[in-house]
Amino acid sequence: MEKTTELAPKKKGWRWGTNRWIVLALLILGYVGANYFFSPVRPFVQLPAEHWMEQPLFTLPGIGPIYLTNTLVALFIVDILVILLAFSFNQAVKKGKLVFGGIPGALEALLEYLYNMTESTAGKWAWTIFPWFASITILVLLANWMELIPGVDSIGVIVKAEAGGFGVQNLGALFTTLVNPAVTEGGYQLVPFVRVVSTDLNFTVALAIIAVIAVQVVGIRAQGMGYFTKFWNVKTFFSRPIFGVIDWGVGLLELVSEISKVLSFAFRLFGNIFAGSVLLFVMGSLLGSIAIFPSIFYMLEFLVGAIQAVVFGLLTMTFMAQATQGHGEHAEQH
**pLDDT tens figures, 136-191:** 999 999 999 998 888 888 888 888 887 778 888 787 777 888 877 777 777 888 88
pLDDT at 100: 80
What pTM did the predictor assign?
0.82
Q: What percent of the chain has pLDDT over 70?
A: 86
CA pair distance 112, 118, nearest whole angstrom: 10
| Pairing label, strands 58-60, 64-66 | antiparallel
Higher per-residue confidence, 84 vs 255: 84
pLDDT at 212: 94
CA pair distance 20, 282, nearest whole angstrom: 28
Contacts of 212 (CB under 8 A, 6+ apart): 258, 261, 262, 265, 319
pLDDT at 234: 67
C-alpha radius of gyration, the chain, whole number: 27
Does the bond joining 181 to the residue before it have cis omega, within 30 degrees of 0? yes
pLDDT at 239: 67
Span 65-123, pLDDT tens digits: 888 899 999 999 999 999 999 998 888 888 877 778 888 888 889 999 999 999 998 88
Higher per-residue confidence, 55 vs 291: 55
Does the bond joining 9 to the residue before it have cis omega, within 30 degrees of 0? no
pLDDT at 159: 83
CA pair distance 214, 218, nearest whole angstrom: 6
pLDDT at 10: 54
Spatial contact of 236 and 248, defined as CB atoms under 8 Å apart:
no
3-state SS, 245-291, equals HHHHHHHHHHHHHHHHHHHHHHHHHHHHHHHHHHHHHHHHHHHCCCC
**Residue 331 above 50 pLDDT?**
no
